[in-house]
Amino acid sequence: MSRARLVPAAVAVALAATACGSADTPTGSDTDAGITIFNTEPENPLVPGNTTEVGGSRVLDPLFTGLVEYRAQDAQPVNAMAESIETTDSKVFTVTIKKDWLFHDGTPVTAKSFVDAWNWTAYGPNATQGASFFSQIEGFDAVHPKDPDGADGPQEPPAPTAETLSGLEVVDDHTFTITLSEPFAVFPVTIGYEVFSPLPEAFFADRAAFEANPIGNGPFKYVSRTVGTDIKLTRNDDYKGNDKPKFKDLTLKVYQSRESAYADLVANNLDFMEELPPNALAGRQYETDLGDRVVQRETLNNQTIAFPFYLEPYDNVDLRRAISMAINRDEITERIFEGTRKPADGWVHPLMKGYRPGQCGEYCTYNPEKAKEALAKSGYTGEIVLLSNTDGGHQEWAEAVVNSIKNTLGVEARFVPSTSFGEFRQKVNAHEMTGMYRAGWVADYPSIENWLTPIFRTGASSNDGLYSNPAFDAKLAEADRATSEDEAIELYLEAERMLANDLPSVPLWTQNTIGGRSDRLKVANLDPFRVLDLYTVEVA
């Protein structure tokens, strides 16, 4: 269908140069080329509802197209397979999907494909990784009863009383309704994640065959897999969506280590890698190695220091303020990260729609005078302890933060390292922290709500510091019930301002992700989720 257009190289270069900054046109690029990108071995079977880990997601993301996709420039959701998603009360959503879309095996994508897939993923006995994403839909407790004493306890979870979510209803071939158990204004934003992908009949007929040969509805088709070596995909020329790729074959190569992948990237044997290894970042080695092949952008993750509210003296708000105002974020981001981190002034990420600067106010600004005043007010004179794992390159900044606190406040401050991330997270989850600790957040979906509810709402899934503020919870609930997005954003911002008073965690900085491309690729951009934006890729 598509064939490489032959354009003199000079013209192509000129066009590419003028197109800088805007969306590039495929002029002069080789649309039949193949590219090879970095991957890690998928940890789970290749089923969208059962993979939330990055090695599997990199494969499934191009294979499937959900109702909405996130725009690479600003992470905003745009309709992909959805024609429209409508609601009047933020509780019942009517979804109309586009007609004539096909799975790779030629069967049509219908409303039933979505509803069946969601029901399968949510069903408790299927024990999928993505089940919890459906917990807001009405009837979730019936299909996925909670284990009364958690996975560690001896009791078995009760058997489900229903097989399908009562909140999902197929109206006709191209329409279905979603009823939530509680109103949730930003729900349409959350469904861009690939656990919400549709599944073909073939999956329900023979799951093992599907796992060996996944059939999606996305811009790429599955070709083959050599376990431990690579996975090959090719362009789906019958794809109906707008995001048609401008190259043909995609090979996801499994690397034993990031370092070896980096060597291949430098030698132009690997076309793209989205996160460079520490040895390349040290002393900005990548600038010498890659030159203009460095690909960098601000991505949806941040770094914070969380407080254990179950441990004295960290439940003292004045002490928390003193600590926050004693950290010189500007100097640390400049000295240690050489500008690849941006000091944070609030809990919501700056790339989010509705982000407002300065939400944390004076408490997130370095101010030695006020920090000392706050410390005096707190009455605490003992030692301050910061805990973090050190396997992700966290030691340097953690020590800098501790020194900043020590020098500003004049109290003893100590950094206690923990060697592995797994061990560290285990203690965080078990509420066994002996001091304040490093925490970070990577957005699940691009909404202002995702930076607040899961981390700070009472009893929320990632609220491991056990912070609780009824007024804040009430404000979030009010925002969830809002009928329009603008109204919801306004209410979430009010909730964020409440955090500034309590300071349940100290926002430190947001992060840039540094990747690299080969010189074969004319254009290759990262998206805000730290993944290569396949639809901008152009091969020279």
Choose the binding region for another protein from 63-71, 122-130, 326-334, 472-480 (rule: CB under 8 A).
122-130
Judged by CB under 8 A, the chain residues 428 through 447 that form the site for another protein are 429, 442, 444
Q: What's the min distance (Å) between Cβ of 127 and another protein?
A: 3
Block residue for tokens 């979804």:
95
Choose the binding region for another protein from 61-69, 140-148, 466-474, 479-487 (rule: CB under 8 A).
140-148
Of 242, 426, 434, 458, the one binding another protein by CB under 8 A: 426
CB nearer another protein, residue 46 or residue 364: 46
Please report whether residue 125 would count as binding another protein according to CB under 8 A: yes
Report d(CA 411, CA 319) in Å as an integer: 12
Q: What's the min distance (Å) between Cβ of 283 and another protein?
A: 15
Choose the binding region for another protein from 43-51, 67-75, 82-90, 112-120 (rule: CB under 8 A).
43-51
Choose the binding region for another protein from 24-32, 100-108, 145-153, 345-353 (rule: CB under 8 A).
145-153
Give the number of other CB atoms < 10 A from CB of residue 257.
Answer: 10
Please report whether residue 57 would count as binding another protein according to CB under 8 A: yes
Pairing outcome for strands 436-442 and 505-517: unpaired
Outline where DSSP puts E strands in 404-500.
Answer: 413-418, 436-442
Closest to 84 in 3D by CA, of 111, 48, 119, 115: 111
Cis peptide before 454, with omega less than 30 degrees from 0? no
Scored b (16 or more CB within 10 A) or e, 56-93 reads bbbbbbbbbbbbbbbbbeebbbebbbbeebebeebbbb
User: Is residue 70 within 8 Å of 447, Cβ to Cβ?
Assistant: no
Q: What is the CA radius of gyration of the chain?
A: 24
Give the number of other CB atoms < 10 A from CB of residue 21.
Answer: 6
Report d(CA 355, CA 375) in Å as an integer: 30
Q: What's the min distance (Å) between Cβ of 68 and another protein?
A: 20
Please report whether residue 209 would count as binding another protein according to CB under 8 A: no
Please report whether residue 256 would count as binding another protein according to CB under 8 A: yes
Please report whether residue 224 would count as binding another protein according to CB under 8 A: no
Question: Total binding residues for another protein by CB under 8 A?
Answer: 51
Please report whether residue 228 would count as binding another protein according to CB under 8 A: yes
Q: What's the min distance (Å) between Cβ of 455 and another protein?
A: 12
Sign, Cα dihedral of 176, 477, 124, 441: positive
CB nearer another protein, residue 230 or residue 487: 230
Please give the span between the terminal C-alpha atoms of the chain, in angstroms, as a whole number: 19
User: Is residue 489 within 8 Å of 448, Cβ to Cβ?
Assistant: yes
Please report whether residue 470 would count as binding another protein according to CB under 8 A: no
Please report whether residue 34 would count as binding another protein according to CB under 8 A: no
Burial bucket for residue 262 (CB in 10 Å: 0-12, 13-18, 19+): buried
Residue 407 DSSP SS3: helix
Binding mask 477-516 for another protein (x = CB under 8 A): ----------------------------------------
Choose the binding region for another protein from 42-50, 403-411, 471-479, 531-539 (rule: CB under 8 A).
42-50
User: Is residue 69 within 8 Å of 80, Cβ to Cβ?
Assistant: yes
User: Is residue 388 within 8 Å of 398, Cβ to Cβ?
Assistant: yes
Judged by CB under 8 A, the chain residues 67 through 96 that form the site for another protein are none
Burial bucket for residue 214 (CB in 10 Å: 0-12, 13-18, 19+): buried
Burial bucket for residue 461 (CB in 10 Å: 0-12, 13-18, 19+): exposed
CB nearer another protein, residue 14 or residue 267: 267
Q: Which residues contact 266 (CB under 8 A, 6 or more apart)?
A: 289, 290
Of 85, 115, 180, 261, the one binding another protein by CB under 8 A: 261
Judged by CB under 8 A, the chain residues 341 through 400 that form the site for another protein are none
Q: What's the min distance (Å) between Cβ of 518 and another protein?
A: 13
Binding mask 158-187 for another protein (x = CB under 8 A): ------------------------------
Q: What's the min distance (Å) between Cβ of 466 and another protein?
A: 16
Please report whether residue 13 would count as binding another protein according to CB under 8 A: no
CB nearer another protein, residue 42 or residue 343: 42
Q: HSE-up of 487 (CA within 13 Å, CB side)?
A: 12
CB nearer another protein, residue 264 or residue 494: 264
CB nearer another protein, residue 410 or residue 440: 440
Judged by CB under 8 A, the chain residues 264 through 303 that form the site for another protein are 264, 266-267, 269
Of 76, 462, 468, 525, the one binding another protein by CB under 8 A: 462
Q: What's the min distance (Å) between Cβ of 272 and another protein?
A: 15
Q: Which two tokens stand for residue 439?
A: 């925490």
Q: What's the min distance (Å) between Cβ of 242 and another protein?
A: 28
Of 161, 224, 226, 458, the one binding another protein by CB under 8 A: 226
Please report whether residue 53 would count as binding another protein according to CB under 8 A: yes
Scored b (16 or more CB within 10 A) or e, 234-252 reads bbbeebbbebebbbbbbbb
Report d(CA 177, CA 111) in Å as an integer: 9
From the centroid of its chain, how far is CA 261? 23
Choose the binding region for another protein from 62-70, 161-169, 394-402, 425-433 (rule: CB under 8 A).
425-433
> Which residues would be at the binding site for another protein (CB under 8 A)?
41-45, 52-54, 57, 124-125, 127-129, 131-132, 144, 146-147, 150-151, 156-157, 211, 226-229, 254-257, 259-261, 263-264, 266-267, 269, 420-423, 425-426, 429, 442, 444, 461-462
